[in-house]
Chains A and B, each alone.
Chain A
């Protein structure tokens, strides 16, 4: 039992290259088994030290380092390619969103404009009947004033406004144009209904 108590001290002292302490020395002097163990541990420590010295400078061959560096470069290229692909995908997605948004906005605004202008024209809101909404024109804002101007228009100009002319052979057509505060035409009425003008 007492020997077990000293076993750790024997090994630790031998490994550290220290002489045994007073108490351990006393035990070693009266215990042949532990004394033999002490000698054995010192020999083992010496041999282990020789082995440690011999293997201390062993390094992996240079090819291992080269392989690791090649892997690093491969990883870096792969990471760069991933980022490039990601950036391209993100840019493409943004362009697509912008394009779709633009198409959607145009369709919404033109349909709203058509709807509002048609309502305004059909309702004859203060301009009397006979006005035809200019397709694609923006709707009037709340409280926006309009003025009606009589003018002569080329049939092509009417066509550009999306209106069809009863007699396309006319050079000029007299028409009343309802113009918003922004100067943009909202509705047109041909002279064929002159009695409808206020």
Chain B
């Protein structure tokens, strides 16, 4: 039977390295993509994932199963770290690499975003306010349900739904000029 995150966490706190490997395997990818999409910086995303797991191991701001799931705790830490990086970047204290990356979010995913429309969507996503971008990343890119995202963000399902709807309106508005210019895929009803 597959151990729960909380069981793995207990084993990790007891010094079990295989529990760390299992937790890392389960969450690293999604956390990295989340941090990457939220920050627009590979360096920030790498540092975020590393810091999240280091904090988990060190017991800093210790996870408490009574207060929520381990996954919600991981995302909570990641969100705070990304916000902190964002604030630093706005204050101009970020490193050269981060600034360079942030200046060209469309290049961030390299060859993966080879077509103009997808790259434009990614850029439009990057321009959304964080609270809207977050639900798009979790609901539409990570394909989680409203309920799962509400648990991760520790907010009501209605809030997730309304933020997502608002975010999609903003995205549509930003992509509309491209659509009228003839870039994009048509969809038949």
Contacts and interface: CB of A to CB of B under 8 A. Distances in A.
On whether the two chains bind one another, the answer is yes
Interface of B: 15, 17, 20, 24, 28-29, 32-33, 36-37, 45-46, 49-50, 53-54, 57-58, 109, 112-113, 117-118, 121-122, 125, 136, 139-143, 161, 164-165, 168, 171-172, 175-176, 179, 184-187, 189
A50 B175 CA distance: 15
A43 B20 CA distance: 41
A65 B161 contact: no
A50 B120 CA distance: 12
B20 to A, nearest CB: 6
Contacts of A15: 139-140
B184 A47 contact: yes
Given A39-B187, A47-B118, A75-B58, A55 B172 contact: no
A41 interface: yes
Interface stretch (A66-74, A104-112, A129-137, A174-182): A66-74
B118 A11 contact: no
Nearest to A15: B140
Interface stretch (A56-64, A146-154, A188-196): A56-64
Contacts of B185: 43, 46-47
Contact of A60 (B45, B161, B164, B179): B45
11 contacts: A11-B164, A40-B176, A44-B172, A45-B140, A54-B109, A58-B33, A58-B109, A68-B20, A69-B20, A71-B57, A75-B58
B168 A41 contact: yes
Contacts of A55: 33, 36-37, 109, 112, 141
Contacts of A37: 172
A160 interface: no
Interface size class of A (residues with CB under 8 A): 35 or more
A65 B31 CA distance: 13
A23 B99 CA distance: 50
B187 to A, nearest CB: 4
B118 A60 contact: no
A172 interface: no
B121 A64 contact: no
A38 B172 CA distance: 11
B15 to A, nearest CB: 6
A123 interface: no
A58 B118 contact: no
B53 A44 contact: no
Contacts of B175: 44, 47
Contacts of B24: 65, 68
Given A39-B187, A68-B24, A69-B20, A54 B140 contact: no
A157 interface: no
Interface in A6-63: 7-8, 11, 15, 37-48, 50-52, 54-55, 57-61, 63
Nearest to B171: A44
Contact of A43 (B36, B45, B58, B179): B179
A37 B121 CA distance: 17
Given A60-B49, A69-B20, A43 B184 contact: yes
Given A58-B32, A69-B17, 10 more contacts: A8-B161, A43-B185, A50-B118, A51-B121, A54-B109, A55-B36, A60-B29, A65-B24, A65-B28, A75-B57
A132 B171 CA distance: 108
A7 B161 CA distance: 12
B46 A60 contact: yes
A69 B20 CA distance: 8
Contact of B165 (A11, A48, A54): A11
